[in-house]
Chains A and B, each alone.
Chain A
Amino acid sequence: MALEVDGQTIELDEEGYLVDLSSWTPEVAKALAAGEDVELTDEHWDIINFLREYYDEYQIAPAVRVLTKAVGKRLGKDKGNSKYLYSLFPYGPGKQACKYAGLPKPTGCV
């Protein structure tokens, strides 16, 4: 699979995740989301940006609990829960948000 963004061909794996994580740009995120009929709002970007920061530091996506806690701290307690995250990323904040943020998919029994 591949994605065309600004004349560049971005290679994707079978499940639509980036093969080369460094090929990510905000435009890539928008294109990935558009492919699933999602328009990225500021609320989505708050999460995507946090995921990328966390990944930079720890080389893995944050656990759901880590994510909800961080969101709660940054955006207010009413948003620090999985319900809010699922409202933005209905296929699961872990998997769907990671995809748009250009992170590898969390694997294992999750």
Chain B
Amino acid sequence: MADYEIPKISGEEGIVDVPKIKPDAMKSHGPWVSKPEFQEAMHFPTDFKMPEDVSQYGDADTLVENWKERALDKMADLKGRYRSLQVFLDICVKCGACTDKCHYFLGSADPKNMPVARQDLLRKVYRRYFTFAGKFFGKLGIPKFVGAAELTEDVVKDWYNYYHQCSQCRRCSVFCPYGIDTAEISMAAREILDHIGMGQKYCTEIMGKLNKIGNNLGLPEAALADTLEGLEEDIYDDTGVDVKLPLDKKGAEILLVTPSADFFAEPHVDGLMGYAKVFHELGLDWTLSSYASEGANFGMFIGSYENMRKISLRIRKAAKDLGVKRIVFGECGHAWRVAYSFLNTLAGPFDFLDQNYPIPQHVLEITEPALAAGKLNIDKSQNDDMVLTFHDSCNIARGSRMGDKPGGQFEIPRNVIKAVCNNFVDMPADTIHDATFCCGGGGGILTDDLMEVRVKGAQPRMEALKYVTNHFGVTHMAAICAICKSQFTKVIPYYGFTMDQIVSVHQLVSNALILTGQLTEEEIEAKEAAEEAERLAAKEAREKAAEEADKK
């Protein structure tokens, strides 16, 4: 299946043992480099020579002119813009609390994947050029004496490789006594790389599509409309109820912003049908937008405030153009972090929205209270073929909140699952809530050229899943993030699970929700039989008419 070793899982304790380090285990050229045309669309410099082969990645003659000065200028710019970045680069005391907290380190044993070592790739350059000690000992030719280092080609290569082995999940920062956020350092490093000709193809190609077409997939309006129509048909076939998935409906109350994977991939699309059924049942007037048909915002992954803002402004424009009163986000991890934590700064003020609702609101913040108030007719037994567990998505767990109580982002999704399923078991405490392990594909890592990183990074989550599988008979893992869902469906087969064991939370809601006027299975069968009979009769009549016409 792969030409590298797949980590072993036992399911005995649910927690991965700290591995013995293997230096350079994950040394590589890194992901595909972004072509000048993609960089141009992001307003990044394009005066670099696209490497012809991965072996040239990071070579000075493939970078922009004066790459060293320009990298340092960018670093100076970023540390000036974000005080947090400078603080994080300054205050690490090398206590080591973070070393065994990263899923990529646990899965790969490469010591450069220890969060402190990852930070130090940037920190040593910062020290050399921006601190007195670094400049002094640098001039003496012994920068290493104070943990500083010259900016060289090899450093750039390490940046590109190891900052693309960080999913910016921030688990390490939970355990750091100083709260140093490696994600922010990773983002800054990628922003610097983007300015010297080493952008990552996966992220920039996607954002280019979003800016042109409205979503990461490049799904044009006509295809989106066709897809939604197909989903309406599917719900009708299943339930006999006419549930709509409106697109660009002016004057609707709610604009739903959801990751475009919800239109395209499995099990995401089952979640989308779940939102539609909940909105329908609660009588909410909602719409999707073809202009802002994307919840995801990869601008965050590459640390580009400008690109993050540009993407966010599409949502504002769509909300204004459609005249909605509320903005609701679907199941997407980093979209919710951007929405909850940054949207008002990036694209506010949202004074034109109804101030009686959270701005923005998560779809679970609609579904959970509705379930608690008994507004939805639920038949839990519809999910009795599954024993569920729940994967906390990192950006939701550690970068946002839900509801009006601390920890709502942990409780609300679980409350929803428990309200629609009879069988729910949590994974071990050190692997959930704010200690959750990343799926291994977040932060711009969800690309085929980083498959080894993704597979190894998934190990801690797989171990926890194996534990509840062995001990409590768990059969399915629910998630509320498009990246988590795609990553897991792709990597869990490497660990002996099957891709259909991953489900959307609103898929579970959809399974259990009995719509008003919903037909029973027998009634649907009868309806289908009647429709079939009608079709046959019409066909016969047509043939008969044709026969008679022939005779004449």
Contact A106 B264 (CB under 8 A): yes
Contact A15 B448 (CB under 8 A): yes
Residue-by-residue, is A1-35 near B (CB-CB < 8 Å gives 1, otherwise 0)?
A: 00000000000001100000000000000000000
- A108: chain B residues at CB < 8 Å are 206, 209, 215-217, 259-261, 264, 296
- CB contact under 8 A between A69 and B448, given known A107-B205, A109-B259: no
Cα-based distance from A64 to B332 in the complex (angstroms) = 19
Contact A110 B265 (CB under 8 A): yes
The residue on A at minimum CB distance from B481 is A109
Cα-based distance from A82 to B502 in the complex (angstroms) = 14
Q: How far is the CB of B65 from chain A (nearest CB, A)?
A: 25
Judge if A65 is at the interface, Cβ distance under 8 Å. yes
The residue on B at minimum CB distance from A54 is B223
Cα-based distance from A39 to B215 in the complex (angstroms) = 34
Contact A95 B446 (CB under 8 A): no
Contact B230 A59 (CB under 8 A): no
Cα-based distance from A81 to B85 in the complex (angstroms) = 49
Q: Which of B223, B266, B332 contacts A59 (CB 8 A)?
A: B223
Interface residue tally for chain B (C-beta within 8 Å):
37
Contact A95 B217 (CB under 8 A): no
- CB contact under 8 A between A60 and B486, given known A14-B32, A108-B206, A108-B260: no
Q: How far is the CB of B530 from chain A (nearest CB, A)?
A: 19
Cα-based distance from A95 to B265 in the complex (angstroms) = 12
Q: Which of B217, B231, B269 contacts A106 (CB 8 A)?
A: B217
Judge if B482 is at the interface, Cβ distance under 8 Å. yes
Contact A63 B205 (CB under 8 A): no
Judge if A66 is at the interface, Cβ distance under 8 Å. yes
Judge if B263 is at the interface, Cβ distance under 8 Å. yes
Contact B223 A109 (CB under 8 A): no
Cα-based distance from A103 to B124 in the complex (angstroms) = 44
Q: Which of A92, A104, A107 contacts B216 (CB 8 A)?
A: A107
Residue-by-residue, is A30-68 near B (CB-CB < 8 Å gives 1, otherwise 0)?
A: 000000000000000000000000000111101111100
Judge if B198 is at the interface, Cβ distance under 8 Å. no
Contact B296 A58 (CB under 8 A): no
Cα-based distance from A110 to B222 in the complex (angstroms) = 20
Judge if B227 is at the interface, Cβ distance under 8 Å. yes
- CB contact under 8 A between A109 and B216, given known A64-B264, A82-B266: yes
Q: How far is the CB of B33 from chain A (nearest CB, A)?
A: 9
- B490: chain A residues at CB < 8 Å are 92
- CB contact under 8 A between A63 and B448, given known A58-B220, A110-B486: no
Contact B446 A109 (CB under 8 A): yes
Residue-by-residue, is B297-319 near A (CB-CB < 8 Å gives 1, otherwise 0)?
A: 00000000000000000000000
Cα-based distance from A109 to B398 in the complex (angstroms) = 20
Q: How far is the CB of A23 from chain B (nearest CB, A)?
A: 18
Chain A interface helix/strand/loop/mixed: loop
Residue among A60, A92, A95, A108 with the most chain B CB within 10 A?
Answer: A108
The residue on A at minimum CB distance from B221 is A58
- B449: chain A residues at CB < 8 Å are 14-15
Contact A63 B206 (CB under 8 A): no
Q: How far is the CB of A45 from chain B (nearest CB, A)?
A: 23
Cα-based distance from A95 to B226 in the complex (angstroms) = 21
Cα-based distance from A104 to B208 in the complex (angstroms) = 14
Judge if B201 is at the interface, Cβ distance under 8 Å. yes
Cα-based distance from A36 to B65 in the complex (angstroms) = 39
Contact B264 A110 (CB under 8 A): yes
- CB contact under 8 A between A107 and B230, given known A15-B449, A63-B264, A64-B265: no
Cα-based distance from A58 to B231 in the complex (angstroms) = 17
Contact A58 B223 (CB under 8 A): yes
- A59: chain B residues at CB < 8 Å are 218, 220, 223
Q: How far is the CB of A76 from chain B (nearest CB, A)?
A: 16
Judge if B483 is at the interface, Cβ distance under 8 Å. yes
Cα-based distance from A14 to B201 in the complex (angstroms) = 10
Cα-based distance from A108 to B218 in the complex (angstroms) = 9
Residue-by-residue, is A72-110 near B (CB-CB < 8 Å gives 1, otherwise 0)?
A: 000000000010000000001011000000001011111
- B396: chain A residues at CB < 8 Å are none
The residue on B at minimum CB distance from A95 is B448
Judge if B219 is at the interface, Cβ distance under 8 Å. yes
Contact B218 A60 (CB under 8 A): yes
Q: How far is the CB of A80 from chain B (nearest CB, A)?
A: 12
The residue on A at minimum CB distance from B217 is A108
- CB contact under 8 A between A109 and B261, given known A15-B448, A64-B266: yes
- B261: chain A residues at CB < 8 Å are 108-110
Q: How far is the CB of B187 from chain A (nearest CB, A)?
A: 18
Please provide the chain B residues from 251 to 295 with a CB less than 8 Å away from any CB of chain A in the complex.
Answer: 259-261, 263-266, 269
The residue on A at minimum CB distance from B226 is A58
Cα-based distance from A57 to B226 in the complex (angstroms) = 11
- CB contact under 8 A between A109 and B296, given known A64-B265, A69-B230: yes
Cα-based distance from A61 to B460 in the complex (angstroms) = 34
Cα-based distance from A109 to B219 in the complex (angstroms) = 13
Contact B217 A65 (CB under 8 A): no
Residue-by-residue, is B387-405 near A (CB-CB < 8 Å gives 1, otherwise 0)?
A: 0000000000000000000
Cα-based distance from A62 to B231 in the complex (angstroms) = 13
Q: How far is the CB of A99 from chain B (nearest CB, A)?
A: 11
The residue on A at minimum CB distance from B202 is A107
Contact A65 B230 (CB under 8 A): yes
Residue among A64, A65, A95, A109 with the most chain B CB within 10 A?
Answer: A109
11 contacts between A and B (CB under 8 A): A14-B32, A15-B32, A60-B220, A63-B263, A69-B234, A106-B217, A108-B216, A108-B217, A108-B261, A109-B261, A110-B482
In the complex, given contacts A59-B223, A65-B230, what are 5 additional A-B residue pairs having Cβ atoms less than 8 angstroms apart? A60-B220, A108-B260, A110-B217, A110-B261, A110-B486
* Cβ-closest 4 pairs across A and B: A108-B216, A58-B223, A109-B482, A109-B261
